[in-house]
Structures are given as structure tokens and as C-alpha cells.
Structure 1
Amino acid sequence: MTSLSPSQAFRGIWPAMLTPLNEDLSIDHAKFAAHASALIRAGCGGVTLFGTTGEGASFSMAERREALEAMVRHGVPAAQIMVSTSCAALPETLELTRHAVQIGVHGCLMLPPFFFKGVSDQGIIDCYCQVIDGVDDARLKIYLYHIPQVSGVSLSHHVIDTLKKRYPETILGIKDSACSTAHSVGLAESFMKDLTVYVGYEPDLPEMGRLGSTGAISGLANFMPRLVHRLVTLPDAPATPADRQRAIDLIGLLGDYSLMPALKGIMAILSGDQAWLRVRPPLVALSPAQFTALEAAIRAFGVERVSD
């Protein structure tokens, strides 16, 4: 899979990493780094920490700083890390972003302000400006994160256009996880000349690849990185329709479960390590009955471990 130049938007697959937890629900730093290293060895361009799939909003600022530092100490190159620095409190977003830049990460994935609902475009723009101007470092690279079904706040074309014009060297891309093909295509048609548009919904990757998208931040890539990579980089290959259908089928299989606990369930099944089942409240781990049913379905579906 594709590597990158630090001054450019990322290319290839940067999985939206699941966050492994200890029994006391603190972050298991060693397992976190081992999972990241396995994904990079499997050909991923890098990894993404503390996004929605990684339960990012459930961890404190101190926990997120410590985990990033530990991952680098465990040998994961900082330049192959993307980190979500999104917090409800603007000063905390600023502090996490400044810390990530100082560590040397490739970029920061940043939500619009997500506690208050019904905020204006100007309010959203002001929040991003506060962080970018506050960090005041040419190394800062930001990817705007659009997931309104979770955040409750949308990134309008006006917001994106305004920020890109104001910070042309800082805003490198958009991660669109709205799971709407029409919305993603609209972003690509409006902004792909100056920004890379990535989607989180894997079945849309071939369509976006045809429009110029060069990678993805994907939840399924925690255990299917090669398939996800083919979807976006080989959109018209003979095997792509089958790969796309396989992604659709797996997403459908997970439809009866809460998504993050189910994704962690798959990691537990593939690794044989049920510690992967742990989640932070307000998420609830799979029950024994749910895990048994998911295991039977996944065994029948046939997902391989990343290291295989």
C-alpha cells in the first residue's frame, strides 16, 4: 500500500483503530501499539487514533496524550499516525492538537464543535481558527471530520471553502463519514481539486476512487485492510464488485449489534483474546450470547487475522 510525503495529504489506508482496554478500562498501551504495528506491517500507510471507532470522546485529554506518547515509544513512527484531537471544550482541542504536532504526527482529524447543536457556520469557522491560530505551527495538518449523525453538527460547503482559503497549507482533506454517496460525491466535485476527500463508508470507496480519492480512514480496516485498500485504489478491477459486496455483507452482518462493541468482538474472535471486548461506558460490551452468535457468523463469513 502507498506511503506518503509529510507535506502531502495521506494516501492509502489508515485504519480507524479500535482502542484496547485493560480490566480497569484504562488504555492497554502495549496492545494498542502492537495492533498499530501489525496494520502497518500489513501495508497500511498509517493508523488513526481516537476517532469515533476508537471511542475517542470517552477518553480524557491526559489519557489521549499518554497513549500517543506510548505508541511512539513502542516503535510506531509518529509520521504514520493520524490522531483525532476533537474535544467538547475548545481549549482541550487546542492542547491536544499542539501536543500532536510536537510529537510529530502526520496530521490531526478534527470534528466541528459538537456539544452545542444548531451552531452557525461562523461559530464552526471560529472554532477551527482558534485552534489553527493557537497552535501557530507550519507543521500542523488538519483533516476536517464530517460525521453529523454522531456529532450533530454538519460541515457546510461554505465552512470548508472558507477554511481552505484561509489556511491553504494546513487544511489537507475531508473525512466524510455521513454515509451518503450523494454527499460524498458532492464534496468531491466541489473540493477535490484542492482537497482530498476520503469516506468512512467502505461500499462508497470505489465511486470515490474514480473521482480521485486516494485512501480511507476505515473501521473495517482493523481486520480487512487489504480489501479496503483495493476498493479505493483499484475501483474498476475485475474483483472490485465482489470485494464491495463482501464489505456490504459484513456491514449487514453487524447491523444487529452496536457497531463499536461488534467491531471489538471481531477483534476478540480473530485474536482469541476476549479482552478486546471491553468498551468504555456509555458503550456496552457484547453479552456472552451476542458474542457467541457473532462468532458463529464471523467464522462462517471468513475474516482472516491481519497477521495471516
Structure 2
Amino acid sequence: MKNALFGGVNAAVLTAMKPDLSPDPARMAGHAKWLLANGCNGLGVLGTTGEANSFGLHERKAILEGLIAHGVPAATMMPGTGCASLTDTVELTLHAKAQGCRGVLLLPPFYYKAPSDDGLFAYFSEVIQRTGGGIPLYLYNFPQQSAIPFSIDLIGRLLKAYPGVVKGSKDSSGDYANMKAMVDNFAADGFEVYSGSDEYLQRILAEGGAGCITAASNGNSHWGGIVYAKRTGPEADAAQAMLTATRKAAVSVPLIPGLREIIARSTGDEGWRTIRPPHLPLTAAQGDAIWAAWGAAGALPLPGFAAAKAAE
């Protein structure tokens, strides 16, 4: 897909925290800059991997502002702004717009289960009307977490009613057929489809998708960048195999603390293990296991890390 706003590899960025569990934008910004220098085209901040729903509104605003203050360009970031509350979603979306972000990622209103498509259409219509439609919205399809899928019919209704505002989707369902259906039905109209699963990057690009927004990109973005640049051929195929292997390694333990462990061991910064309950850090055995799995895949040390440390 040409001219996608976030086309390419986007890391679902981990949120750094201080020992008291407060956000640490300075440490997070350092990681974000490393990602942008090592294969990432953009950054999905304050999503599932970033533990957005463990933070309050003021904290989420402070994280975004802090990243910008520490030199992460607002235009590279797609913050998650979807909340269970309509007014919270509107407030965070307007805040992201005011900071200069080019798009936001919206979960559906996830507390009440099994809403109708009519109810979801009404919710997103209110969000669009109250935010003035001045910032592109990306739909976050993650039914395993939200329990609310976005149907093809609902997406079609939103695109017809609000052309150019509902700009795309991150599909973390793991159902490739669903991702392809989005591409087949809407990509010709400029709808950007991003895989939430690393193993589908090469495939979704070939189908006309825009790229990926993934958790494992916190450590495997180097190879994602190769896939996005090359698309096909031996180098792209080998890089895609690495994405698939590292994704498998990442989900061999609880995903978010596992990725924190990889970054902590790679940087020597134990602070990356700090995580808000109900999540917990890995046990020592789990930490050894995921480190070994990434090493067995050939992904360690993380490419570009030594150069980044030397530049500090």
C-alpha cells in the first residue's frame, strides 16, 4: 500500500516505569529512539504491550508529552486512546491531536460485552463528532483481549459515513483470513491494515496491507525493517523467518514481562523489569528460558544495540 500514514514496521512500545511504578518517559524515549534507528518506521505507544489500561488519564497524557519532550517526534507515534468511557476516549484523542500525532488507535468500548454493531457505530460516531474528525482513527481489533470484534460490515458502515477519518485497523486477532478480508474489502479505498502478529508481515504486505504493529518489534524490528524494504527474495525470506521465530520465543512466556526481560538483559538496565500489577516480572527460570529462546533464534545480541550504547 502506498502513502500509508504509518506504513511499515511499528513497535508496540513497552512503557518504562520507575521503582514506584510511575511512568519513566526518559527511559522509554531512549528505547523509542533505538527502535526508530533499527528498523521501525513508527511507534505504537500506550497500547496493550504498553500497558495503557494500567494508567490513568493524566498519566497517559504525561507519557505522551514526556516522550515528545525527550525528542521522540510526535508524527512517528500512534497512541492508544480507546477507553471504556466515551468521554475519556474523546479527551485522549483530542490530546494526541494537540500534541501533533498523525493518528490514534482505538479499542472498542470493552467493558460491556456483546454490543451490537449499531451500538458500536453509535459509539464511534460520537467519538468522531466530538473530536471533529481532525485526526485519523485506527480500529484496534483484538477480540481475545477486548471480547469485541470489529465486523467487516461495521467497518464498511464507518468508512461510508466518515470517509478519510476511519483510516485503518490493527488486527491482533491472529486470524489471517480476517486481516485479508479487511484488505480485500477496503484497501483499494486507502484503508490501512496492520498485522498485530509478526509472522504475517511479509504475507500481509504482499496482499496489499500496510505493515505491522507488534509487541515483538521491541526486539526484532531490525528484521522487520528488512522485510518491509525487500518484500521478496532470499534476504526478505530469511528476515521473515527470524520474525516468526522471535514471535514464537516471545509468547513462550507471558508476553509483556518476557519482552521486558529481553530489553533488561540487553541493556543491563534492571529497571525494564518493573511492571504494574496484575502483571508480574518473570521468574528467574522463565527469564533464562526466554533469553535462551531468543538466542537460539539467532536474535541476540540485538542488532544496533552496541552502536547505540557507544553513541550515548
TM-score range, shorter chain: over 0.9
Deviation at 1:298, TM superposition (A): 3.0
In the alignment, structure 1 residue 256 sits paired with structure 2 residue 252? yes
Distance in structure 1 (CA, Å) of the matches to 2:305 and 2:42: 16
User: Could you tell me which residue of structure 1 aligns to residue 46 of structure 2?
Assistant: 50
C-alpha offsets along residues 60-93 of structure 1, whole Å, 9 cap, x if unaligned? 1110001111111111111111100011211111
Superposed, 1:1-308 pairs within 5 Å as 9-138=5-134, 140-194=135-189, 195-303=191-299, 304-305=301-302, 306-308=304-306
- Between the aligned partners of 2:296 and 2:271, the Cα distance in structure 1 is 22
Q: Give the share of equivalent positions with the same residue, in percent.
A: 35
Alignment length (residue pairs): 303
RMSD: 1.9
Relative to the length of structure 2, the TM-score reads 0.91
- Work out whether residues 261 and 283 of structure 1, in 8 Å CA contact, stay in contact via their aligned partners in 2: yes
Structure 1 SS opposite 2:214: coil
CA contact (8 A) 1:203 1:247 kept: yes
- Look up the equivalent residue of 1:99 and give its one-letter code: H
Give the letter aligned to residue 29 of structure 2.
Answer: A
Could you say what secondary structure the match of 1:223 adopts? helix
How far apart are residue 235 of structure 1 and its match?
3.2
1:254 and 1:72 map into 2 onto residues whose CA distance is 28
Match of 2:222, SS state, is helix
Report the alpha carbon displacement of residue 294 of structure 1 after superposing the two structures with TM: 2.6
CA shift in 2, pair 1:233/1:215, >3 Å: farther
CA distance in structure 1 between the aligned counterparts of 2:139 and 2:197, rounded to whole angstroms: 16
TM-score w.r.t. the length of structure 1 is: 0.92
Matches of 1:38 and 1:300, distance apart in 2: 23
- Give me the whole-angstrom Cα distance separating, in 1, the residues matched to 2:5 and 2:294: 34
The gaps in structure 2 that reach 5 residues or longer are 307-312
| Letter matched to residue 233 of structure 2 | A
- Where structure 1 has 5 or more consecutive residues not aligned to the other structure, the ranges are none
